[in-house]
Structure 1
Amino acid sequence: MASKGQCDPCTEQGTSSPAVKFCSDCEERLCEKCIEDHSKFKVLRSHHLIDLSAAGSKIPTFQKYCDVHADGLLDFFCTQHDVVCCRSCMPLKHQSCKNVFPLEHVSKDVRNSAVLNDTLDAMDNASKTLTGLMDGTNNNIKKLEDDEQAILRELKTVKENLVKQIDKFEEKVIKELSSIKKEKEIKFKQNQTEIGELKDKVQEIHEQVNFLKKHGSNNQLFLALRQQDKKIQSIDCRIKEMTSTFVGAQLALTGIHNLKIDSIGSIEETPLPCAIKHKPMKLNQAQARSDNSKPITSMQWNNQLNLHAGTDYNLTGIAITSDDSVILCNHTPSGNLFTYSSTNVLKSDISLSFPYDVALIPNTDKVVVTLPNEMKIQFIDITRTELSCNKISTEESCYGVSTNRNNIYLGGMGKIFVLNLQGLFRNKITVNNTESIYSLCVNETNQQLICRSLSRLWYVKLTGEIVYQTDVPGEAGLALDRRGNVYYSMRVSDEIRRIRKGDSSSDVVLKASDKISRPYAINFNKESTTFYVINDCETVQIFNCN
């Protein structure tokens, strides 16, 4: 093998040439001439070359060959056994399996798959949880110091009153304090070390997956995801164990109000529960969705959300959390942001003036709400039912709002304003200069925005290019299912219509006989198994997706 930065084939020939690319199939660094030679042979043309200037020293390695058959490339995936295998494994272990596919087939859409997004989300959540655990451990160590100082101050006060009698007892208590503190410090520092190691592992996996997402082939990314699965689940199990057993300690001096000659108190330890909650990773579910997602063929009415009585409703915006809680905007002067649990329980009611639309901030417990009458947006932490920051002013009245992993998109007067997730302006996309945009959806697969005004519906690339538009009366009601199909409400005809992915015509999926009446805002839950419709801005109808 050549030294770092040198071409491997040239080195084997006794010459030295600087390497510019890395062939991940041959696992060799190549110079410009060898790259040219590489492309001459048909068998090598499909090899994946990585630019070394982009990769640096972080070129991830992963298993390409079968554990059982040393020369067998991992070219197939059995969905029945959920394993990657080689051609030789098929007649031995998968002869009766119906769903064994070439790796090229199952990895074709891996860059846009739920398993990739959920893997990255899982790493983000794991890193966030470990950071919280590390901060908690640091705070516990500091609290030990603070508690120790507080106790020592109390001891000094007691000592001043009983100087002649407490010298030997003081020594006993200080030793006890020191022993407990030392014991806890050792435990907490062990926690620090383990948390740090887990964070390093999470960061390493995260960087590898991100790198392959940007620079690797589909096969490599799919294999990497499969091979990291056990590591990720092992990390997740350990995080779960740590969050369930993670306790702090509060030290205090007790018995000081009933002093006896033979004692001046003792050290009491009060365990403090861990404030960091474990969020289970959803990698297995994500894999199942990626392989077996089916189109929605029908919707069946389930129930009506039981809204709190005694309120004037003008519901204009709806968002669904990962646990199927329903967040509603009540667009009235003394407006509200309601959160209802999946069991119809009112969890929170936050007062806002004329809130219009709401969207979830990915990987957080926050939402962003548009306040068009004030020309502002508001961030809200729905778990604490409190405003997350001061209101942020917008250039003009903005109505529709949508988000993805990186940005917030606001619908203005014929424009879409792009903000980062902290609300700082990035750029704007001009769509139409005369009509306000009341509804927005982000299709990350196609890198498109779907937006709707009073009379039209547009598909707009994130670069600003309009790729499709059609006349649609009515200002609100847009939703995307997991397969990228677009759904929109039709108030004038009491219908919910669908434009299938890759098509321009629409079909009716719900109508008046299905309990649709002047539909407004609509949305799916995360799995696209439940569909929510705001009827006549007053009720919320819930449908099962089949």
Structure 2
Amino acid sequence: MAVPGKKTPKTFSSSSTMGSDETIQVYCQPCDRDGPRLPAHGYCVDCREHLCDICLTAHKRHTLSRHHTLLDDNNMPQTMSSASIRPSRPDSLTKPCPRHMREIIKFYCQNHEALLCSVCVTLEHIGTSCKVNYIPDISDQVINSKEHQDILKAIDTISEQYHKISKDVKSITAKFNNSLADVLADINKFRKEINQRLDELERQAEDAAKTIQQEKDKNLKTVETICDDVTKSLKTSSDSIKHLNTTKQADKLFMELKLAEQMIKDYEKCVHQLAACDIKEYIFKPNKAISTLFDKERSLGTITEKSLKQQSPPQTVNIKSRQTSQQGKICVKTSKDKVRCGITGMIFLFPDLLIITDWYNCAVKIVDTCSHTVTDQLQLDTEPRDVTSVTSTELAVTLPEKQNIQFISVTSNKLKEKQIFKVDGKCHGISCCQGKLAVSFIDPAKLLILDTNGTILTTVRREDILMKPEYLTTNTHSVYVSDSVMRTITRLNWQGEVIGSYGGMARPYGMALSDDGSVFVCDYGRNVIEEIAGDCSTGNVVLRGLNSPRFVCWCAETSKLYFSCLTEQDKDDKFVQVFKLS
């Protein structure tokens, strides 16, 4: 039976092939897919489909398609698109919409690059600015496409990055665990050092008390003996006088009385002396600083953190003029010094704790920068050249004349010699970073990278850059070396490869790394301190008109520059100069 408003479809399908002298009948494509075949009476340019009268009317009313461009039967294409004559394929769209779980994703908005269900389209993508496509109509173009290749390549790249991050995290985790194990060991070691020091102080106090006790016991024993002897002598004399008087031996009695009279005078003097002897009672008065120490302090120490991630190399620093103001000077000459000072190395352990090496007096000194005093001095049997901090409680000092590197502990503001290891050559400059020591040698001229056990990791011997390497400073990615013959600052990586150089200097010596990556250098030949960029591209003089500056040290916390001079005059060389930089 015929359906009103529709013609009975012919028996051949939309995929039927016509003869060469026949034309293909144009049919409604939506009806061709879902129902009986009907002739087309219009065409949607946006959907690229032929439509029958009923579909054309519905197309004009539907929210998703009412703004589409429609052509009537006189202007529509008179041939069917390939989509209308190919076999229909099963619907493979089964992924539910994450926002509307009962709906299936079937559309794609090119403007918002979003996958959509019909509800998403109706609620949010019905504007004229949105170009929404039915996914089966556009999906064929992605097979073996550039987008397909790019996405796979991006997935591989991201996978490699996450694999590397995972590998790095495992490495960092191991370092992290090792560092905390070291922290616990250091806490235990520090506690033992405190106990040892307190035990030592206790023994000293006990020895002092025992010495007093022995001395007083001896004095009291002497007094007791004297009293016993006098008492016996007086009793003997008294008994003799009584007997002679009873027996009426006048001559003997006379002599005995006179002897007793003299004896009484002598004993009276003695009794006054003994009576004047002040026998004291003793009490213990605790050391106030120690007794209040644990009242003031709230922890045994602090655990500080340091990033384990590899830092990026420093960018070019724009070296600009700094404002400078002199903050005074610190006298580092002590009563133990036999000759004038020769400060050849400095390093900060804390903002108020400066360690210096005194070449001429064979000493390493602790300088309190708040009180401007030397609080401890360690005498060595040879001249120390440079010093670096290995940890917050350990230093390493170069001893060029003996070709040694001496380790020194710093506990309770006291210096103490520890282990020592031999090196091959006259070691001058030294700097420690992340458990590695960079050491410069002037004879033979070279640079060594070692671990803290003395194992050589890298050796650099190049006459084109190193002829007399004096000093060096380091960070996680660079080693800066001053050479007084080459008149340069050379920048190397930790593998010993040259990655930068700065020339134009007269006689560079001591260096210090600032907190922004630039390097302060003492130019002994020009009597200036110059600041150069971390990449050695530019430089600028920050202090000029100095008197033979030899070594420099930077305190980032206070923005102060400390430097020593070597003028061969004690009035100048015994001071550390201090300047504020801004």
- Using structure 1 for the length normalisation, give the TM-score: 0.49
Bigger Cα Rg: 2
Q: Taking CA–CA contacts closer than 8 Å with sequence separation of 6 or more, which of the two structures ends up with the larger relative contact order? A: 1
